[in-house]
């Protein structure tokens, strides 16, 4: 397993980038993840990366998070080889998943969230890189 990325909810990617760039962490690219109603800024840090999440919709998951908790750590993401198999295994163990079926994430990945109730209070994202497996 690898720590794939750390997701941080921000009010404004541009304003937040001023801080990250001041400590030498550079923006690689931004992309829109329509399914999550967010714009994502990808900042590589060693073998992992920080993702700054700016909402496109106050009713989206990050919009609701910002309204309730303000800016801050939103989730951590670990990379798995087989996301569907991992979902089945965790479900069988009684672990509560938000996504029972994987959905599209940033950077051509499949993702599924594990509920903070099952993880000790941290929203955990499982992510599988699609280009590591052959397309069906
Ligand atoms: Zn993520």
User: Taking 80 as the threshold, does the pLDDT of residue 23 lie above it?
Assistant: yes
pLDDT score recorded for residue 35: 85
Cα 1 → chain centroid? 16
The residue to which tokens 């990250």 are assigned: 20
pLDDT, tens digit (0-9, with 9 covering 90-100), for 94-127: 999 999 999 988 888 999 999 999 999 999 999 9
Going from the Cα of 134 to the center of ligand 1, the distance in angstroms, rounded, reads: 22
pLDDT score recorded for residue 44: 97
What is the CA angle 35-36-37, rounded to 5? 95
pLDDT score recorded for residue 136: 47
List CB contacts of 94: < 8 A, sequence separation 6 or more: none
Protein residues with C-beta less than 5 angstroms from the ion ligand 1: 7, 77, 125
Do residues 96 and 119 touch, judged by C-beta distance below 8 A?
no
pLDDT score recorded for residue 1: 79
pLDDT score recorded for residue 73: 97
pLDDT, tens digit (0-9, with 9 covering 90-100), for 46-55: 999 999 999 9
Going from the Cα of 25 to the center of ligand 1, the distance in angstroms, rounded, reads: 18
Helix or strand run (H / E) with residue 8 = strand 2-10
More confident residue, 1 or 33: 33
> What count of residues does the chain have?
136
Q: Which of 120, 128, 62, 127 is nearest to 95 (CA)?
A: 120
What share of the chain has pLDDT > 70, as a percent? 96
Going from the Cα of 22 to the center of ligand 1, the distance in angstroms, rounded, reads: 23
C-beta pairs of 60-69 under 8 Å, 24+ apart in sequence:
60/36, 61/36, 61/37, 62/9, 62/36, 62/37, 62/38, 63/37, 65/9, 66/9, 66/11, 69/9
Q: What phi-psi label fits residue 46: left (phi over 0), alpha (psi between -120 and 50 degrees) or beta? A: left
């Amino acid at each position: 397993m690898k720590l794939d990325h750390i997701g941080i909810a921000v009010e404004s990617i541009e304003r937040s980038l001023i801080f990250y760039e001041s400590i030498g962490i550079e923006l690689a690219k931004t992309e829109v993840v329509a399914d999550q109603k967010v714009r994502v800024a990808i900042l590589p840090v060693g073998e992992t990366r920080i993702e700054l999440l700016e909402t496109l919709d106050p009713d989206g998951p990050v919009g609701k998070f910002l309204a309730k908790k303000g800016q801050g750590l939103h989730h951590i993401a670990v990379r798995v080889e087989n996301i569907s198999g991992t979902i089945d295994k965790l479900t069988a163990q009684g672990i509560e998943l938000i996504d029972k079926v994987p959905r599209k994430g940033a950077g051509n990945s499949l993702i599924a969230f594990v509920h903070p109730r099952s993880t000790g209070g941290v929203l955990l994202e499982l992510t599988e890189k699609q280009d590591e497996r052959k397309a069906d």
